[in-house]
Amino acid sequence: MCDRDDIDAMIDAAQRREAFSRRHFGAWALGAGLVTALPRLADAMEVVDTDLDIKTPDGTADSYFVHPAKGVHPGVLIWTDIMGLRPAFKMMGKRLAESGYSVLVPNPFYRQKRAPIMPPGASMADPDTRQALMGFMGALTPATNVTDAKAFVAFLDAQPSVSKKRKLGTTGYCMGGPITFRTAATFPDRIGAAATFHGANLVNDTPDSPHLLIPKLKAQFLIAIAASDDMKDPQAKAVLREAFDKAKLPAEIEVYAGTQHGWCPPDSNVYNEAQAEKAWNRLLALLRKALA
């Protein structure tokens, strides 16, 4: 998952960026302005959204659910990064719903704290914040990931706005990357599309390495790799490509030039708008193809 090296890289990159946008920082700190931080589709569907609680075997997960106001649509489960459920991810979920999907964004840290897990303006440059975030993330395991995937997929399948005739999609950011793999492996016949964005530790030398799950998968994949992550582990993309080729599964695996770990959420201090938009459009292409 996301580790201290990833967080350090994000902090260092933010400090080096003289052109860092106050618009995005303000949105991160206050949860305001995110509508303008994400371009709106000209043909965006009208959507209905709600904050709700979902019962799991381990407690009650506070979550955000958003879907088109009319009809039934493919469901998509979004796994957040280490900062958890917050306005940026709600806006990302809403934007996806406006493209025709019923989207669930749960708080991955519900066992410890309801969202938001950090106060407005919290910075990963602060040692106390970093320690707290690493503690939240450290409480998650492959077993809790599977428990949550079962609960959230069941929730989606019980919703009138979710098509039962079309497969589900799942996406993950940073630490959500490995959870995306575990979700797709837990429901190989239900998950048809999966995407990771600056996914952390997708290839490692442990028995729980996400890439070892590829033979169990049936989903089409998009893996968008941060350039900074590729510099740390340039062999990971080759290992992933080989594993997907052996499994005969379609997978678009690309390093996004000039990006730092964490570049996709619009409230990130290393947000790269041009490359985030490219990744978003590749996600929409995957969902259109795999969930048709």
Give 258's Cβ-side CA count (13 Å radius).
Answer: 8
Q: Are residues 208 and 171 in contact, defined by beta-carbon separation less than 8 angstroms?
A: no
Q: Domains of the chain by range and CATH?
A: 4-290 (3.40.50.1820)
Local structure of residue 254 (DSSP, 8 states): E
Environment class of residue 132 by beta-carbon count within 10 Å: exposed (0-12), middle (13-18) or buried (19+)?
middle
Per-residue pLDDT, 72: 98
Residue-wise pLDDT tens digits, 199-210: 999 999 999 999
Per-residue pLDDT, 32: 43
Per-residue pLDDT, 34: 52
Environment class of residue 8 by beta-carbon count within 10 Å: exposed (0-12), middle (13-18) or buried (19+)?
middle
- Does this model's pTM top 0.75? My answer is yes
Q: Which helix (H) or strand (E) covers residue 102, if one does?
A: strand 102-106
pLDDT tens for the chain, residues 1 to 292? 455 555 555 444 444 443 333 344 344 444 444 544 677 777 899 999 999 999 999 999 999 999 999 999 999 999 999 999 999 999 999 999 999 999 999 999 999 999 999 987 777 778 888 899 999 999 999 999 999 999 999 999 999 999 999 999 999 999 999 999 999 999 999 999 999 999 999 999 999 999 999 999 999 999 999 999 999 999 999 999 999 999 999 999 999 999 999 999 999 889 999 999 999 999 999 999 999 8
Greatest alpha-carbon pair distance for the chain in Å reads 49
Percentages of the chain per state (helix, strand, coil), in multiples of 5: 40, 20, 40
